[in-house]
Chain A
Amino acid sequence: MAVRNNKSILLVEDNPDDEELTRVALRENNILNDLTVARDGPEALDYLLGDDNALPQVVLLDLKLPKIDGLEVLRRLRANERTKLLPVVILTSSKEEQDLVEGYSLGANSYVRKPIDFGQFIGAVKQLELYWLVLNAPPPTD
């Protein structure tokens, strides 16, 4: 069953390996939504806070990013009227407690640790897809 809707996904990820693995995992799960990739913090913020682009259905946000890190990106998104309710899933290598606590306290909707086991990663992406792309009703847009 291919899930096809026009709701796009923004992946904020600087590591091309992880980008590729995420793409494969999405494909393995038959998630065929548009995937846009921002490769550092400023790029993500430009994309989301500028007026040129429609907001994605969900943002998959890595924490360790060049220039502006993921938590700061999240802080700025939550401070902005346009993006303060945008679903953001932190997708990161770390399970450091400080990241978890800060991520949630800044208003992350979910926190997923990228497992080393690729099989598990595919499973995690499936869960994400189910919840954020299929089940979740997006916040009302003006």
Chain B
Amino acid sequence: MGHPLGVPYSTAWLVGGIVGGVSAGYRQPPTTQALPADALEALHQLSVAIAGDLNLARIASMAVGHARTLLPADAAHLWVWNPRTELLRCLAREEAVAPAIDEWMARPGESIVGDVFASREPLLVDDYPSWEHAWPEVVAAGVRTALGVPLLVNDQPVGAMVVHNYTPTPFNVRQTQLLSVFGAQVGPAIEIARLYEESEQRRAEAEAVNLSLGEGVSVLDSSGRLTYMNPAAEELLGWTQAELEGHDLHATAHFQREDGSPLPVEDCPILVVLRTGKTIKVEDDVFTTKDGLMVPVSYSASPIVLHGKLVGLVLAFRDIEARKMNEAAIRALNAELEQRVLERTAELQASNEELVSFAYSVSHDLRAPLRAIDGFSRILARSYRDAVDDQGRDYLDRISAASQRMGQLIDDLLNLSRITRAELRREAVDLSALVRGIADDLLAAEPTREVTFEIQDGLVVRGDARLLRGALENLLRNAWKFTSKEPAARIEFGKATNKGRPAFFVRDNGAGFDMAYVDKLFGAFQRLHRPTEFEGNGIGLATVQRIIRRHGGEVWAQGDVGEGATFYISLREGEKKPHGSP
């Protein structure tokens, strides 16, 4: 880095230039010496050459060319400040200072370039290879001496220019002055070109955005006249930019409402932006196309403010026809769905009513003949005893027993169908108390049996008391039945975790079952035992399953032959909420 002003330049110069020790850069004191005529002529030529040129690279290239011949110098390069990256970028070089220098970037303060940019002062380095801030690549290129000047606009740095000699010839006061004037000349041209390039790039970016946007974009001036529209806007409105430019957009495309009534200028939500300076959004409006068709649109309009003054607005809009059609389609679908739900409900109601009347007639009509079969066979057995022998009486008993069983079957089936259609009345149900009651009934009905009941207390759920009682009764009667051959029968009821969820269980140490048939356990009429072993019709567990499922729960079983069985019931959680909704 160069010394700041006030450092004794001569010393540094003497050390760097003559003694050849550690070199330092130094600054020239300002000079008032008039430029020679040839220099003025060269500057004039440069001014003419770069005047009106907006190509940054070309200006830079001309500047380094002129500088090299003017000074003269063996090599020259020019750097431009990029405010976006906050780096200096080498734009042009005359002679191969270093092959890669084109792609170089420099930070403010770095080497000669960064130094003169940051200090806004020229810097001389008379023994470049020994200079502590020298770039090795530049040294390797054979550079011996260096002079840098900032490019200034209104005293602000916009870049830097550096010249070199490949001979040990240092740059002098006149050359420093000349290059400084040169820099002052080139600076504004470079800056204008850079700004132009930047604005061109921005314009190109904006154009690309506008082209790729699906939304229509229009720009209106402060009187509502169109100055720009993108292709999407052209397509949507049917007008081209050329046709509409300078025309009042409201009068052309926004003059009517959806119902065809006129939309006065004073009611136009878009033009309001020009009065209030505030962004607006409208979800549902219509524009009229060149063909006179109305297009449903949503749009937003934002003011364009330049130097504190409202100069126009940007309107971004989109066709919402598809959205509106979708909405209509969704409405139609919903209506259809609702209709189908109604129809389905009616069908279900009808089939439910059919089921009810079926069950009703089963209840009456299937039982009546059974009564006759049982009744008359008993009358035969009682009143016509002498006319039938023992075997005949046995057959009559069998007829009677079979009618009983069928009667029970009908009752159980009706019960099963009743469970399906009964309305659930949810309330707090004390399962422990229910189980205790059922156990007492069982013990009272068969006082000769010795069965130990172990019932966990305080198990309360929300559910239909009658149905839950039905389920528990079935499970407990099963346990009771299948422990009938067990001398130390034991039946438990409680709560435990099984299959990863909390469940109530009824466990017995009775006959059990083979897990291979566990799938058949809950099917109606499915039995795993012969009637001669344990009586039953296979409806009980189907009934239990239906009751639990109606409560949103599951029932499953575990067991082993001769090792007893456990039936688990999970009920949907939330069951314990004391004031839960039904």
Question: Residues on A close to B: CB < 8 A?
Answer: 15, 17-18, 21, 24, 63-64, 92-96, 114-119, 121
Contacts and interface: CB of A to CB of B under 8 A. Distances in A.
B364 A17 contact: no
Contacts of A21: 371-372, 375-376
Contact of A118 (B360, B361, B375): B375
A24 B378 CA distance: 11
Contact of B371 (A63, A94, A95, A114): A114
Interface in B359-379: 359-361, 363-365, 367-372, 374-376, 378-379
B369 A17 contact: yes
Given A116-B367, A121-B375, 14 more contacts: A17-B368, A17-B369, A17-B372, A21-B371, A93-B364, A93-B365, A93-B367, A94-B360, A95-B363, A115-B371, A116-B370, A116-B374, A116-B403, A117-B407
Interface centre among B364, B369, B376 (most CB of A within 10 A): B364
Contacts of B403: 116
Contacts of B367: 93, 114, 116
Contact of B378 (A64, A94, A118): A118
A112 B372 CA distance: 17
Contacts, number: 58
Contact of B375 (A24, A63, A94): A24
B404 A64 contact: no
A93 B378 contact: no
Contacts of A114: 367, 371
A101 to B, nearest CB: 14
A15 B360 contact: no
A64 B360 CA distance: 10
A57 to B, nearest CB: 24
Contact of B363 (A18, A94, A115, A119): A94
A118 B367 CA distance: 12
Interface string B376-418: 1011000000000000000000001001100100000000000
B421 to A, nearest CB: 11
B360 A17 contact: no
A116 B374 CA distance: 7
A116 B404 contact: yes
A107 to B, nearest CB: 22
Nearest to B383: A24
A95 B367 CA distance: 11
Contacts of A116: 367, 370-371, 374, 403-404, 407
Contacts of A15: 368, 372
A117 B369 contact: no
10 contacts: A21-B376, A63-B364, A93-B364, A93-B365, A93-B367, A114-B371, A116-B370, A116-B404, A118-B400, A121-B375
A121 B367 CA distance: 13
A141 to B, nearest CB: 34
A94 to B, nearest CB: 5
Interface string B278-317: 0000000000000000000000000000000000000000
Interface in B96-148: none
Nearest to A95: B363
Nearest to A21: B375
A117 B404 contact: yes
B407 A118 contact: no
Given A116-B404, A116-B407, A17 B375 contact: yes
A75 to B, nearest CB: 18
Contacts of A96: 359-360, 363
A92 B364 contact: yes
A70 B371 CA distance: 19
Contacts of B361: 64
A118 B364 CA distance: 16
B359 to A, nearest CB: 8
7 tightest A-B contacts by CB? A17-B372, A116-B407, A118-B375, A21-B375, A93-B367, A118-B378, A93-B364
B120 to A, nearest CB: 104
Nearest to B359: A96
A118 B381 CA distance: 12
Contact of A17 (B359, B365, B371, B407): B371
